[in-house]
């Protein structure tokens, strides 16, 4: 990485930050949230429909082998996210949060349409999975930039007294995007014959995602720039590159890396991998597993604002300690119970339990990271350590889980998740309470 800024257009002329009315603040947050929802829908459509399109691109091997290959491509998308985070983070700190958000949704649109139109292995042979990887790389670049830009923007637009509550909608819409992908899957499972869904119906969600991204592009062109960025721009504060950011904020970046490693690993274990786990290990049908995943995500989505509101009262540090401490203790026994459970309702209750615990991290993860950095390096500081950790631990979660299963030691994955969460628990104990010591100075 270098400290050179990407040449993507000159930043606008400095101006005084406007005073936002409560209505304007809410409209800005909802505008950013709508785009975040579509970005994550496009990202999760891949994992939601992997059971159907994996044989088209990876025709050799049994179901586990095909899913491992599809999971490897899922991970490749994560490997592009640090570069997207670096590129877009620098751009957001120089040209503005709005410009960065518009760029990220443009890339996601291109990646979604590419997957929708891509010929499969029977038509293009080995070139088909190579092109799938390329499309996933574009989506990874997009999402790497989206997280930092949207987390920063929504945190800066939220008012001081309810910053945890309003910024929690960044993750609420992330879950909503995943839930929307599952809803599209359930709809297609009920509207299309199974043979049609497996043959060509899996392409539909990617077409839908591309079209929604076009709509979001128009919405994001009209949202307000954040007062924090405008204030930093007016003051002419020095912009930092990646190397300078790591040198000046080593403790903050290290803490974000560890906390994100545990949070992302647990999130992908409890959500995207859970659907496959319930089919491939527990023995539920695809439809039942999809319904369980959808039900748990609805509850999970509704919980986020409650934990965000709680963090405004008791502090972000307290909710983090709860999430990682309880998660380290609960993951192994709950996942073990899920592996042999027969009741869909009991399975739903156990998945919801894991997600309730994890909400102590996910609801505050955006605001926590944003409050650790000053405005002139905030987008890059939020995005880059997050993307690095997400690539290594979140993106690999499904592949590592399936590798443990293939080796006949599936419970090793449960222990792996618990250990990483225990490490994050120790880091959370040493974190300052960003609710009281926030570096977001504008109300």
3-class SS of residue 424: helix
Q: Specify whether the backbone of 8 is left (phi greater than 0), alpha (psi in -120 to 50) or beta.
A: alpha
pLDDT at position 3 is: 45
Neighbours of 402 (CB within 10 A): 24
CA dihedral 124, 125, 126, 127 (to 10 degrees): -10
- Measured N-to-C along each axis, helices 127-157 and 81-95 cross at an angle, to the nearest 10 degrees, of 40
Cα–Cα distance, 172 to 169 (Å, whole number): 4
DSSP 8-state code for residue 279: I
pLDDT at position 441 is: 60
pLDDT 10s digits, 14-57:
444 556 666 777 777 777 787 788 888 988 888 778 878 888 88
Total tally of structural domains belonging to the chain: 1
Q: What is the mean pLDDT of the chain?
A: 84
Structural domain boundaries, residue 173: 22-429
DSSP 8-state code for residue 162: G
pLDDT at position 8 is: 41
pLDDT 10s digits, 243-292:
788 888 899 899 999 999 999 999 999 988 898 889 888 888 888 888 89
User: Has residue 184 been placed in a domain?
Assistant: yes
pLDDT at position 328 is: 97
Q: What is the DSSP string of 35-62?
A: HHHHHHHHHHHHHHTHHHHHHHH--SS-
Neighbours of 441 (CB within 10 A): 12
User: Has residue 135 been placed in a domain?
Assistant: yes
pLDDT at position 10 is: 42
3-class SS of residue 439: coil
User: Has residue 4 been placed in a domain?
Assistant: no
pLDDT at position 404 is: 92
User: Has residue 10 been placed in a domain?
Assistant: no
User: Has residue 67 been placed in a domain?
Assistant: yes
Query: How far are the Cα atoms of 80, 107, 326, 369, 386 from residue 254, in angstroms, in the given order?
Result: 20, 29, 22, 11, 10
Q: What does R_g of the chain's alpha carbons equal in angstroms?
A: 21
Check: pTM over 0.85? Answer yes or no. Answer: no
User: Has residue 3 been placed in a domain?
Assistant: no
User: Has residue 58 been placed in a domain?
Assistant: yes
Q: What is the DSSP string of 306-344?
A: HHHHHHHHH-HHHHHHHHHHHHHHHHHHHHHHHHT---H
User: Has residue 57 been placed in a domain?
Assistant: yes
Residues of the chain with pLDDT under 50: 1-16
pLDDT at position 255 is: 92
CATH number at residue 58: 1.20.1250.20
Neighbours of 4 (CB within 10 A): 9
DSSP 8-state code for residue 375: G
pLDDT at position 335 is: 94
């Amino acid at each position: 990485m270098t400290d050179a800024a990407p040449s993507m257009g000159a930043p606008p002329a400095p101006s005084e930050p406007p005073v936002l009315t409560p209505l304007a603040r809410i409209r800005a947050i909802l505008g950013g949230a709508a785009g975040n929802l579509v970005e994550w829908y496009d990202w999760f459509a891949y994992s939601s429909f992997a059971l159907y399109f994996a044989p088209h691109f990876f025709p050799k091997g049994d179901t586990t082998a095909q899913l491992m290959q599809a999971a490897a491509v899922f991970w490749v998308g994560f490997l592009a996210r640090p570069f997207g985070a670096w590129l877009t983070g620098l751009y957001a700190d120089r040209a503005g949060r709005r410009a960065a958000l518009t760029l990220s949704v443009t890339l996601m649109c291109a990646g979604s349409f590419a997957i929708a139109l891509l010929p499969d292995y029977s038509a293009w042979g080995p070139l088909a999975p190579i092109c799938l990887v390329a499309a996933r790389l574009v989506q990874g670049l997009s999402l790497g930039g989206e997280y930092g830009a949207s987390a920063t923007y929504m945190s800066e637009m939220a008012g001081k007294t309810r910053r945890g509550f309003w910024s929690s909608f960044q993750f609420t819409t992330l879950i909503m995007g995943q839930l929307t992908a599952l809803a599209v899957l359930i709809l297609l499972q009920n509207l299309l014959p199974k043979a049609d869904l497996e043959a060509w119906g899996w392409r539909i969600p990617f077409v839908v995602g591309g079209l929604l991204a076009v709509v979001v592009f128009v919405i994001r062109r009209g949202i307000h720039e954040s007062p924090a960025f405008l204030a930093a721009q007016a003051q002419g504060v020095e912009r930092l590159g990646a190397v300078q950011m790591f040198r000046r904020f080593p403790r903050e970046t290290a803490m974000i890396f560890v906390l994100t490693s545990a949070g992302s690993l647990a999130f992908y274990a409890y959500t995207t991998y859970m659907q496959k786990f319930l089919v491939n290990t527990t023995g539920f049908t695809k439809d039942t597993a999809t319904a369980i995943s959808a039900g748990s995500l609805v509850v999970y989505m509704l919980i986020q604002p409650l934990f965000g509101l709680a963090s405004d009262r008791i502090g972000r540090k307290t909710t983090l300690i709860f999430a990682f401490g309880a998660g380290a203790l609960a993951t192994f026994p709950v996942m073990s119970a899920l592996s042999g459970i027969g009741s869909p309702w009991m399975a739903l209750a156990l998945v919801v339990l894991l997600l309730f615990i994890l909400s102590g991290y996910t609801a505050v993860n955006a605001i926590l990271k944003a409050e650790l950095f000053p405005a002139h390096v905030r987008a890059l500081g939020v995005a880059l350590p997050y993307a690095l950790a997400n690539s290594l631990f979140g993106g690999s979660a499904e592949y590592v889980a399936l590798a443990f299963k293939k080796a006949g030691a599936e419970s090793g994955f449960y222990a792996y998740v618990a250990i990483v969460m225990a490490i994050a628990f120790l880091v959370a104990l040493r974190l300052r309470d960003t609710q009281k010591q926030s570096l977001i100075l504008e109300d």
